Structure 1
Amino acid sequence: MDYIGAEIPNPPVISYLAPEQKESSFLPLTSLELLKQHGTKVKRLREGNLKELNTDTSTNTSGHQALSTANIMKLARAQLLELNSQKADVLSTVASYIGAQSALSSEVSDDLGLAILLQAAAENVFNQQYVYARKLLSICDNFSSKSGNPAQRIIHYFAESLREKIDREWGIISSTSEDLEGKVKKPMDEKLAMISLQPGMMASQQENPFCLVSQFTAIGSIRATVASAKKVHLIDFGLDNGSHWTLIMQDFAARYDCPLELLKITAVGTSKPMMEETGKWLSSFANSINLPFSFNIVVSDLKDLKEEIFKLEVDEVVAVYLDKRLWTMLAWPNYLEALLGVIKNLKPCVMVVQEMEASTNNPIFLERFYEGLIFISGTFESLNDCMDNHILYRKLTEEVYCRNMIQNIITAEGSERVHRLERVAFWRALFAKFGIVETPLSRSSFCRARLLLKRSARYSSFTIDMDGKCLILGWKGTPLISVSAWKFQHD
């Protein structure tokens, strides 16, 4: 169902949005295109003059650097392939120029050199040439840090994880993360960290184009599908702070032609206190707008769910929202398929899915390393730009959540490697096994989101593409999030 003809309500005035910016002419480049575009400068790098590769800091018409962090990583990969084809020694060709005469050298040049060394180190780890890999990583350590620019922070965390992988292979630390004294290290608790992130994350969501577009489009697509229902049951697998549901609650409260009899939200998760707190807040909000509302919680791991837990009513219309939840089960495909079977038995009228758009589920180490590097590059740069007013929370997000993801992608194997991402093509193939077919997203909701987005100062960095009926959201050309809507074919 497409909603192109639907009326678009006037968007609310949001004070933090800057005047509308001209749309960027930036287009993402492949590694080969980047190498061709910067071929002369790259040749000079190979000939031993890294500092001359400085035109990459030129800006486009919107004032952004011509090369994003992700494109620096892609250009580094292309240059490394070129060096490998020449059988050149990466260490001697690149390393001696990084940081030399720093007052004259380009920051982009230094970042490119470090990116080449990092990826060369990953290749050597893959080939079990650990001594040489550590030499490359030692230079990365000297010229990168978690307080540098996005490229330097990324190189710092990836180099750290590569060193840990080498240490594990050498038996210096075990898979149980023991330190050198044999004491088991306590891993950073992501759940506790994310609780501490809540205030800043809620504030930064109001300034983040990803939230504007993804939530308006996702929740708006649910709203359009249940527009005429009198009793609506929304099942949220991963409630977070619940603020996304206020969009649909306000629309239901203003539906005078066909008043809603009851809106029920069921939250599924493992943190009962967090869900209860969110439920109280949503109930208070519903009461303030005179919306008939009930809130239920299901405390359970996704792998243990059964359809009878949800206590569905015969006359209610069910919709399912999965926001970055399916990827968490890719390490256990049987549980993932069982979950989809449960959702199908709930007979929802629509299932809206948001997932991270990358492929770190590859069993080949070098492939998932590169996929993770590009995805994290886009993520770090978007965090850097969108959370500039919330630096503390940006740092916490990077140092806890993103760092753990990088570490898991690089160092873990088997079922311990839980940070597995897949692109929308994978989900299409999996859903097809369950008779789940893609349906268009709400056009009116997307247009409403874009109206807000165009007034943002960060609009020119935001990229929007369609993959079939699926919306792909990216940052400076790097895909990061997919938003899609699905319907079930029942027997």
Structure 2
Amino acid sequence: MEGLIRKFFATSNDFIHNQQHITPVGSQMGFFNNNVEAQMKKTEGEEQQGDFPDATLKYISQMLMEEEELETQRCMFRDAMALHATEKYFSAVLDGTVANNTCPPQDGFSWTCALTNSFSSSSSDEPCFGLSLPASVDASEERQGMDHSPPKGKRDHNSFSLSSDNNGPAGMMMRNNKHLASFCDEPETFDDFFLFTKCRDKKEEPREQSKGGGGRGRRGKKKNKQETKKEFVDFRGLLTQCAQSMGDYDIGTASETLKKIRQHATPQGTGMERVAFHLANALEARLNGRGTSIYTSPQGNVSAADILRALQMYLTASPFKMVTSMMANRCIAKLAGGGATRLHVIDFGIFYGFQWPSLIQALSTMPGGPPRLRITGIDFPQPGFRSAERVNATGLRLEKYCQRFNVPFEFNAIAKKWDTIELEELQLDREDDVVIVNCLDRMGNVPDETVVPNSPREIVLNLIKNINADVFVHGVVNGTYNAPYFGMRFRETLFHFSSLFDMLEETVPHEDNDRWLFEGTVLAREMLNVIACEGTERVDRPETYRQWQVRSLRAGLQPLPLDQEIVKGVREKVKSEYNKNFTMDEDGNWLLQGWKGKVLHAVSCWKPSN
């Protein structure tokens, strides 16, 4: 088990795929190991309870042990999002809405190559993306770096120093100016964007960092007095100033501000230093007009297995996924307990099917035997000729899991754009089916009316209404960073993701590898798309739960009251097993989740108004 873990989240397409096989921040895997091994020690009786995330963590561990191909595959969610963005961009090119001499459209912020060239020549210290892999270092060396990283507390800081050649700020890999001027013709891959540079010729003096990371783990370890004497840097002010300069087309000021940020920001520092580092990368990608090319690049060396391990860390540290899945599964189990003989779950955004092992276990213990479970798994298509291959693979895994617990099972895979799905494809011709529609945190990837006049979101909600399900469980990311104006969108992005990085800072050990991977791939890639991509290429477009409330009512859905018995059980679990700064509240039919008062997720139940 230990060897498999050491060999080691979508969401992959290769932004996701790039920050893993960098030499890791440390070799500490205790946070992940302790939790998984604790799950493995549960008795069979405890397993039958089907608790989330226990069943999900064990399900992922089983996938990693049994499916070696995950070590070479890319994460299905991130591939799908990259394909979606690429299709939209090339469609715009064919329609003539993207000029040949410009970089991808940026909603009023379209930098031409000539403008970028002037930026390149205006500064002797050309900004860069900070994390780049030398041509002489291949992915296999990076994998070896992970296996041989020093233990916590004895980490060689020099091995993580970033090159400062060409008189650039510490932590930046300077490239020749001609590369920046020609990026529209020859976009670089993720390997040139988000991988650490190994110092080969000389060792640098590392920037002073707090020993132990200055963070707080699950036990809330406090910082030493010496650690609090670090130079204070107003990252929020600098990042906001940089974004404002870009909005004002003040290239020189934006460049200088980025240099100041890079002198102090690091992916190995405090939560704020980490979010500043990744936001600086996203700002620079926007400044250079390379957001779409980086986001959709097909190169990278982070596998699906890597992302799954990072997701295990996130599921263990945060209750967000646990709460939404428990709300949905317990609601479904209650419907099944009313004498149902057949359940049909239509899952929009099934991903790897992590939500369903706990439901399957719960169904297997029902008096009189389990009902027949039918899942229609829907997700975005994958690149290539076998667009539904990985959705089908999810179905096969769930089928094996159902066989283990003696639950009759059927699976129907649909891999296409959600607004093009026809009602007939869902096979709703069985009158004795109890039908449940499930969509957790994925509707924000469906384009809205600001992208396509005939809003795909409205089309999908109308489809859900026409399904006439017994219940529609809708979980959303409560995001306010979908504004059309860049300045406002950037400020909200900074606010939202700062909360997530702060949450990980206080709940996961500072040098945990999977935390570092999750931040540098999953979260950083989302920030890249929100900040550096525009128009049809910007596929992360969240809305607040109140906006979704209006959309759902307009589509002909009516809210169902929260089941207080389920809410009470979820609250008790969060209170007893998670950090005290996680918050839960209710607003009408919505159960809200947040961190230190900031609402980040919400979930509610609906049914057709007729």
Q: Could you tell me which of 243, 250, 269 is aligned with 2:361?
A: 250
Q: Which amino acid aligns with 2:365?
A: A
Q: For structure 1, which segment, 326-335 or 200-209, has the greater mean C-alpha deviation from structure 2 after superposition? A: 200-209
Q: AA paired with 1:489?
A: S
1:234 and 2:345 correspond: yes
User: How big is the shift at 1:283?
Assistant: 1.9
Contact 1:204–1:386, Cα closer than 8 Å, also in 2: no
Whether 2:335 is the aligned partner of 1:218: answer: no
Q: What is the aligned partner in structure 1 of residue 244 from structure 2?
A: 123
Rounded to whole Å, the distance in 2 between the matches of 1:410 and 1:278 is 32
Aligned ranges 1:163-312 → 2 under 5 Å: 163-168=284-289, 177=293, 187=297, 194=304, 196-202=306-312, 204-228=314-338, 229-256=340-367, 259-269=369-379, 270-271=381-382, 272-312=388-428
Work out the CA distance in 2 between the residues paired with 1:255 and 1:240.
Answer: 27
Structure 2 counterparts to residues 276-355 of structure 1, below 5 A: 276-312=392-428, 313-329=430-446, 330=448, 331-332=451-452, 334-355=455-476
Match of 1:483 among 582, 591, 603: 603
Residue 548 (structure 2) pairs with residue 427 (structure 1): yes
Alignment match, 1:20: none
Once the two structures are superposed, residues 459-485 of structure 1 have per-residue CA deviations (whole angstroms, 9 ceiling, x without a partner) of: 312111222221111122222111111
Within 1, Cα distance between the matches of 2:525 and 2:215?
33
Deviations 1:214-261 (A, max 9, x none): 22122222333443222110011122332322222222222215x444
Aligned residues: 390
Distance in 1 between residues matched to 2:228 and 2:323, nearest whole Å: 39
- The alignment status of 1:110 with 2:110, answered yes or no, reads no
TM-score using structure 1 length: 0.71
Aligned residue number for residue 42 of structure 1: none
Give the alignment of 1:372-387 within 5 angstroms.
372-387=493-508
Cα distance, 1:428 vs structure 2: 0.9
Give distance in 1, aligned partners of 2:554 and 2:525: 32
Per-residue CA deviation, residues 316-361 of structure 1 (Å, 9 max, x unaligned), is 1110110122111134462222212222221111111111111111
What residue is the counterpart of 1:135 in the other structure?
A: 256
Q: Are the counterparts in 1 of residues 592 and 602 from structure 2 also a CA contact under 8 Å?
A: yes
Q: Give the counterpart of 2:563 among 442, 447, 450.
A: 442
Distance in 1 (CA, whole Å) between partners of 2:268 and 2:524 is 14
**Structure 1, 401-410 or 206-215: larger mean CA deviation:** 206-215
> Residue 361 of structure 1 aligns with which residue?
482
Q: Identical aligned pairs, as a percentage? A: 24
* Structure 1 residue 362, shift from structure 2 partner: 0.7
Mapped to 1, the partners of 2:509 and 2:215 lie a distance apart of 22
SS in 1 for 2:567: helix
- How big is the shift at 1:288? 2.3
CA contact (8 A) 1:439 1:469 kept: yes
Q: Which residue of 2 aligns with 1:29?
A: none
- Residue by residue over 1:280-334, the C-alpha shift from the partner in whole angstroms, topping out at 9 and shown as x without a partner, is 2322222222222222212222132111111121221110110122111134462
SS of residue in 2 equivalent to 1:459: coil
Distance 2:313 2:227 in 1: 39
Contact 2:562-2:590 within 8 A present in 1 as well: yes
Using the TM superposition, give the Cα deviation of residue 390 of structure 1 relative to its aligned residue in structure 2, in angstroms: 9.0
2:586 maps to amino acid: M
Q: What's the offset of the Cα at 1:126?
A: 2.0
Q: Is the 8 A contact 1:218 1:441 kept in 2?
A: no
Q: CA deviation at 1:58?
A: 13
Unpaired runs of at least 5, structure 1: 1-8, 17-56, 67-101, 179-184
How far 1:152 sits from its partner (Å)?
0.5
CA distance in 1, matches of 2:527, 2:348: 24
Aligned counterparts of 1:370 and 1:129: Cα–Cα separation in 2: 18
Amino acid at match of 2:232: D
Structure 2 letter corresponding to 1:359: T
Q: In 2, distance between residues paired with 1:64 and 1:298?
A: 47
One-letter identity of the residue aligned with 1:356: V
2:374–2:410 Cα contact (<8 Å) kept: yes
CA shift, 1:276, in A, is 2.8
Code of the residue aligned with 1:303 in structure 2: it is D
For residues 93-145 of structure 1, give each alpha carbon's deviation from its aligned partner in whole angstroms, at most 9, with x where no partner exists: xxxxxxxxx968644x624x222222122222222222222222211110111
Counterpart contact for 1:362–1:368, Cα < 8 Å:
yes
The worse-fitting range, judged by mean Cα deviation, of 480-489 and 268-277 is: 268-277
Equivalent residue, structure 1, for 2:39: none
1:446-457 to 2 correspondence within 5 Å? 446-456=567-577
Which sits farther off after the overlay, 447-456 or 345-354?
447-456
Partner of 2:516: 395
Alpha-carbon separation, structure 2, partners of 1:352 and 1:149: 36
Native 8 Å contact 1:224 1:442 kept in 2 = no
Unpaired runs of at least 5, structure 2: 1-47, 56-213, 383-387
Residues 191/367 of structure 1: CA separation in 2 closer, same or farther (3 Å cut): farther
Q: What secondary structure does 1:110 align onto?
A: coil
Q: Alpha-carbon deviation of 1:488?
A: 1.0
Read off the aligned partner of 1:238 and give its amino acid letter.
G
Asked if the contact 1:206–1:212 (Cα under 8 Å) also holds between the matched residues in 2, the reply is no
Cα pair distance change 1:390/1:190, threshold 3 Å: farther
Q: TM-score scaled by structure 2?
A: 0.58
Tell me if structure 1 keeps the 8 A contact 2:215–2:509: no
Q: Which residue of 2 aligns with 1:38?
A: none
